């Protein structure tokens, strides 16, 4: 079983497949040991050892030294052990090199099957490790095929294709095979079919990466994205801020004549983007988050993390947005519940409260005087 070409093949395997040679040798030793035991009986204690430096493959059987042998496959008597080496004691392990001549073709084929399986596992693990570096990245891919709404894209430098489910696509977008498309690598997971790359264009990570790509100030962290709220294909709100006094965070994102923000919006299939300047003042932050609507006042309840926002009557529908979208995105962006009221509603509520207070006060006066000596009080009040 000594074969120099065999070990040279291992070197080539390491170079071509990028599989660690030592890992493969360990897997091969395990596989050959399993094949040997299958041939001679599972009870036999044996180990196949490969020595790439000497180009040798040797098989060793192991037996424990005992006073009285009960299992000849695993035990050897003290007397027989001392015939091999006089220093052996009860409890010692005797290793004996076995002949490899009878370790024939059937055993080798069995070992080959196990080795190939292990080889596939190692290749898959290496692929997963390499691809994991692409997670949370923006990639330019090519549409490979479309199957029942699911888009499969080819990823450069990888034999693995990316999978974009319908839920990860921007509503209204249409692609054809061969189209180049930017995607966000949402997740990489290992499955029985091999590593699977889940890509997305609807994830908020896609918006964040586009901002990093198009806006150098965000890429070099002069401008920071605090949070993003998104209804894919319709509207996004992006909160940004900067610690640099002479830098306009909103202006940096918009770009000269809106070129930067328009490029991002174009990649998002025309999705509207509201830029919000972040502030630690939660009252001001909530007001800004409802842009483009104007806000009169904001009240908050810290324990409930809820707020009430008052807007001019002509701004109510704008603040709420179509199907409640604007206030919903503002709530996601800030992390606060937002209840919007118009000025007239607030005034009407206040008037009702004032009227109830007046009625309550009159009732108290009447109750107090009903117990007094002024029997004609009702006539007086009338």
Domain CATH number, residue 292: 3.30.300.20
**Do residues 379 and 364 share a domain?**
yes
Q: What is the mean pLDDT of the segment spanning 79-98?
A: 88
Give yes or no for a contact between 197 and 152, defined as CB atoms under 8 angstroms apart.
no
CATH number at residue 99: 3.30.1480.10
Confirm whether 350 is domain-assigned.
yes
Highest mean pLDDT (candidates 18-32, 328-342, 347-361, 362-376): 328-342
Asked if residue 208 belongs to a domain, the reply is: no
Q: Which parts of the chain fold into alpha helices (H)?
A: 4-17, 21-40, 78-84, 105-132, 204-214, 216-219, 249-254, 259-267, 282-289, 316-320, 325-334, 343-370, 377-381
294 vs 140: CA distance, rounded Å? 39
User: What is the pLDDT at residue 304?
Assistant: 93
Q: What does the pLDDT look like over 249-307, one tens digit per residue?
A: 999 999 999 999 999 999 999 999 999 999 999 999 999 999 999 999 999 999 999 99
| pLDDT mean over 347-361 | 63
Judge if 101 and 116 occupy the same domain: yes
Phi, psi of 184, rounded to the nearest 5 degrees: -105, 130
pLDDT score of 6 more than 80 = no
Look at residue 230 in the predicted model and tell me its pLDDT: 98
Same domain flag for 75 and 124: yes
Domain assignment present for 375: yes
Q: How far apart are the first and last CA of the chain?
A: 121
**Domain for residue 210, yes or no?**
no
CA distance 268 to 226: 20
- Angstrom distance (rounded) from CA 10 to CA 165: 40
| CA distance to 68, 105, 110, 316, 373, per residue, from 100 (Å) | 29, 11, 15, 87, 125
Report d(CA 2, CA 272) in Å as an integer: 70
For residues 186 and 196, is the Cβ–Cβ distance under 8 A?
no
* Same-domain check for residues 366 and 302: yes
Tally of CB atoms within 10 A around 227: 17
Look at residue 104 and tell me whether its pLDDT is greater than 60: no
**Residues 150/205/332/321 CA torsion (nearest 10 deg):** -60
Residue 148: C-alpha distances to residues 152, 178, 243 (Å):
11, 17, 48
| Per-residue pLDDT, 192 | 67
Q: If pLDDT is split at 50, 70 and 90, which confidence band does 354 have?
A: low
Q: Which domain holds residue 238?
A: 217-278
**Packing angle of the helix pair 105-132, 21-40 (nearest 10 deg):** 150
Euclidean distance between CA atoms 330 and 324, whole angstroms: 10
- Report the SS3 class of residue 73: coil
Residue ending a domain, choose from 98, 115, 130? 130
According to DSSP, the β-strands at 138-147 and 180-191 are antiparallel
Same domain assignment for residues 26 and 47: yes
Q: Among 180-189, 255-264, 365-374, whose mean pLDDT is lowest?
A: 365-374
Whether 274 and 288 map to the same domain: the answer is: no
> In terms of domains, do 269 and 287 share one?
no
Mean pLDDT of the chain, nearest integer: 84
Report the pLDDT averaged over residues 25-44: 74
Q: Are residues 270 and 301 in the same domain?
A: no
Q: Is residue 209 in some structural domain?
A: no
Q: Model pTM greater than 0.75?
A: no
If asked whether residues 116 and 10 sit together in one domain, one would say: yes
- Domain's final residue, options 96, 130, 164: 130
Determine contact, residues 188/135, Cβ cutoff 8 Å. yes
For residues 313 and 344, the answer to whether their CB atoms sit within 8 Å is: yes
Q: Are residues 233 and 329 in the same domain?
A: no
Q: Is residue 91 part of a domain?
A: yes
The pLDDT score that the predictor gives to residue 2 is 45
Domain count, the chain: 4
In-domain check, residue 211 = no
* Average pLDDT for 190-215: 89
Count CA within 13 A, CB hemisphere, residue 166. 4
- Mark whether 232 and 125 lie in a shared domain: no
pLDDT of residue 163: 94
Q: What is the rounded distance in angstroms from the CA atom of residue 132 to the CA atom of residue 219?
A: 21
Q: Could you tell me if 368 and 292 lie in one domain?
A: yes
Return the percentage of the chain with pLDDT > 70, whole number: 83
Domain end call among 245, 278, 311: 278
Comparing 184 with 129, which gets the higher pLDDT?
184
* Entry field: residues in the chain: 382
Residue 206 lies in a domain: no
């Amino acid at each position: 079983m000594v074969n120099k070409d065999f070990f040279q093949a291992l070197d080539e395997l390491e170079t071509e497949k990028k599989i660690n040679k030592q890992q493969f040798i360990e897997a091969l030793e395990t596989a050959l040991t399993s094949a040997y035991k299958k041939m001679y009986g599972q009870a036999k204690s044996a180990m196949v050892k490969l020595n790439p430096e000497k180009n040798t493959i040797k098989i060793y059987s192991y037996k424990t030294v005992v006073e009285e042998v009960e299992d000849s496959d695993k035990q050897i008597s003290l007397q027989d052990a001392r015939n091999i080496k006089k220093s052996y004691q009860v409890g010692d392990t005797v290793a004996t090199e076995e002949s490899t001549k009878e370790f024939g073709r059937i055993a080798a084929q069995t070992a080959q099957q196990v080795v190939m399986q292990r080889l596939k596992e190692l290749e898959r693990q290496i692929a997963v490790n390499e691809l994991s570096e692409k997670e949370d990245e923006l990639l330019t891919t090519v549409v490979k095929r479309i199957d029942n709404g699911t888009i499969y894209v080819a990823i450069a430098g990888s034999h693995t294709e990316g999978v974009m489910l319908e839920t990860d696509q921007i509503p209204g977008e249409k692609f054809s095979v061969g189209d180049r498309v930017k995607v966000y690598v949402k997740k990489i997971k290992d499955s029985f079919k091999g590593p699977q790359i889940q890509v997305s264009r609807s994830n908020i990570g896609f918006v964040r990466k586009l901002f990093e790509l198009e806006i150098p100030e965000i890429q070099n962290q002069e401008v920071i994205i605090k949070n993003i709220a998104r209804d894919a294909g319709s509207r996004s709100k992006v909160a940004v801020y900067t610690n640099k006094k002479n830098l306009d965070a909103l202006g940096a994102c918009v770009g000269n004549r809106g070129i930067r923000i328009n490029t991002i919006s174009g990649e998002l299939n025309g999705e509207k983007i509201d830029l919000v300047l972040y502030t630690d003042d939660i009252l001001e932050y909530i007001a800004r988050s409802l842009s483009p609507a104007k806000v009169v006042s904001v009240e908050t309840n810290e324990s409930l993390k809820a707020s009430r926002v008052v807007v001019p009557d002509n701004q109510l529908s704008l603040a709420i947005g179509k199907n409640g979208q604007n206030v919903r995105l503002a709530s996601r962006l800030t992390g606060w519940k937002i209840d919007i009221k118009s000025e007239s509603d607030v005034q009407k509520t206040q008037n009702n409260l004032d009227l109830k207070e007046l009625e309550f006060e009159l009732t108290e006066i009447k109750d107090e005087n009903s117990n007094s000596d002024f029997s004609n009080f009702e006539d007086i009040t009338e």
